[in-house]
Amino acid sequence: MVKNLNDDININNSEITDANSVIHKRGYKLYNFKRPDKFSKDNLRALHDIHREFSKQVSLVLTGYLRMRVDVDVVSVDQLTYEEFIKSMPSPMNVGVFEFSPLPGQVLFGISFEVLSCMVDRMLGGNGFAEAKVRDLTDVEKALAKRMISVIVKSLSEAWSGIVPVESKVVGLDDNYQTIQIATPGEIVALLTFEVQLANKNFGLASLCFPYPVLETVLSRLSTQHIFQTKGIVATSEERQKMIQKLNTSKVDIRTLLGSCEISLEDFLQLSVGDIVRLDNKVSDDLIVKVNGEKKFFARPGTLKKNVCVKITDIYNEMYDVLRAYI
């Protein structure tokens, strides 16, 4: 009887092995009904690519807006249930709730207190001091935080323009994920985590949560192939006009270089009011005008209504600039 029982066990084991081999050959995989995967790997890669561009754009926008260096990088892209997402988030954490029209539902953007307090301090005229102790925001700070999140979300809309034209609108601000319910506990969400660096001394995290129903209608466009194809599309005249309008409001730094000279450190330390420093330019030489640190024009000095000014005479030419010293 023992021999027959062992034979039966061996036969059953061989049948299980054969069944597993058949499953392997046909490409079947185990499916977790408790936590199904609604976003494919290609969808997650596409989300990573979209928000990598978003992180570059928002870094530039925030750097100009806060007048200090801001670096934003994508850390990870994951899918999990809404309940798991809520439990994994630190508390308290400032959360902006916004709509992504015409996509349905709402999206969450969370930002750590360290980062937000640094931004708010900068907006209030400070040096960008990040508070270590977490506290509730004042009404004024909440208003500034909402404005800051609106700026960030606007950059997000621009990053998504290649997939679907969307308009973002912040509809709420909370200090805890636990009190926000934009999806059922078992609903799958796409979670993007970002690292934010402020002036290379303050660090923090930000998170972006897309419930599956929000992206369901555009999943077919969330592919690396679609993103690659749309990058080569030439902008329409309307899009170019919008870009020009945005550039027209940008501020640029213009400086005029009067001249230069070389002196010893000893002479420099002895300089005082009334001393004359001889420059290498002649009175008849054109001055160089720099735009954002780049040499762009030649100009002549003068006055206008008792103000010092320069008159643009020509576009900067590097070869002429080098040769004029020998002319």
Give dist(CA 26, CA 37) in Å, integer: 20
Indicate if the pLDDT at residue 293 is higher than 90.
no
**Residue 118 corresponds to which tokens in the numbers above?**
């640094």
Residue 94 — very low, low, confident or very high, per pLDDT cuts 50/70/90?
A: confident
What is the fold of 41-248? Chemotaxis protein chec (3.40.1550)
Distance CA 175, CA 264 (A): 58
- Rounded to whole angstroms, the Cα distance separating 111 from 95 reads 6
pLDDT digits (tens, 9 = 90+) for 161-189: 878 888 888 888 888 888 888 899 889 99
Average pLDDT score over residue span 84-104: 87
- Check residue 11 and give its pLDDT: 43
What's phi and psi for 149, nearest 5 deg? -65, -35
Q: Looking at 67-165, list the stretches that DSSP marks H as alpha helix, in order from N- to C-terminal side.
A: 82-88, 113-123, 139-159
Look at the domain 254-323 and name its fold: Surface presentation of antigens (SPOA) (2.30.330)
Pair of tokens at residue 256? 């005029």
Among residues 85, 60, 54, 19, the alpha carbon closest in space to that of 156 is found at 54
Share of the chain above pLDDT 70, in %: 83
DSSP letter (8 states) at residue 234 = P
Nearest to 102 by CA among 157, 147, 46, 149: 157
The two structure tokens encoding residue 166: 């969307």
Contact 232, 162 (CB under 8 A): no
What are the residue ranges spanned by the domains of the chain? 41-248, 254-323
Sign of CA dihedral 39, 41, 45, 46: negative
For 47, 249, 289, the CA distances from 292, given in Å and listed in that order, are 34, 15, 10
What φ, ψ does residue 131 adopt, rounded to 5°? -80, 135
pLDDT tens digits for range 310-327: 999 989 888 777 776 666
Computed over every residue of the chain, the mean pLDDT equals 81
User: Is the overall model pTM greater than 0.75, yes or no?
Assistant: no
Phi, psi of 78, deg, nearest 5: -135, 160
